[in-house]
Amino acid sequence: MLGFADRPLSVYQGEVTIRGILRLKPEVRPGQSGILRATLTYQACDDQRCLLPVETALSVPITCGTKE
């Protein structure tokens, strides 16, 4: 537990992997390409305080594959 928090918080150190499931519109076909845009919000903390949250915009080129 962080010294300033009144309840347990999730804490991550080093490298973190974020996974998710993308649901595409029915009209998207295998082989179609596009850009996945997302915003990641994160906040650095130590056991006494947290810095202000930071937002980072992400753009990743993707190509639709086939359903396995």
Cβ 64 vs Cβ 29: under 8 Å: yes
Q: Each residue of 30-58: b (16+ CB within 10 Å) or e?
A: eeeeeeeeeeeeeeeeeeeeeeeeeeeee
Whole-model pTM: value is 0.62
Walk along the chain (68 residues) and give the pLDDT tens digit of each residue: 567 778 887 788 889 898 988 888 888 889 999 999 999 998 888 878 889 999 999 999 999 988 76
What is the per-residue pLDDT for 44? 86
Domain-by-domain residue ranges, the chain? 1-68
